Amino acid sequence: METTYYDHGTTAERWERGRMFFDAEDYAAAARVLDGLVEEVPEQTAPRLLLARAYYHSAQLRRAESELRVIVDRDPVEHYARLMLGRTLQRQGRHEEAASHLRIASALAGDFDQI
């Protein structure tokens, strides 16, 4: 197996590299790093959420939706994942489906005016 820059290093190094790409707004590169990291540590929410965000910002909406659904299935009260899932569904034109996730996200954030 050939190691590339995106999958080289320890888990912590790849997490930092993925965050650096994300912070630099190179979302496609961040997704390449984070995808392998999520495969390695599928139980951790933070890398999966950042991967979903990278997919969202690079317009890979189906992939973002898939990652966000995993998070919400595991932790239904994960506020930011709910919000991102709603926004992702909105960008896909699935407004009715998005509305329920956005209402839940608002309730979890304590923003009852949005419900």
pLDDT tens digit sequence for 63-104? 999 999 999 999 999 999 999 999 999 999 999 999 999 999
Tracing tokens 């951790």 back to the chain, one arrives at 44
Q: Say if CB 89 and CB 100 are below 8 A apart.
A: no
pLDDT for the residue 62: 98
Q: What is the CA radius of gyration of the chain?
A: 15
In angstroms, the CA 83 to CA 71 distance is 12
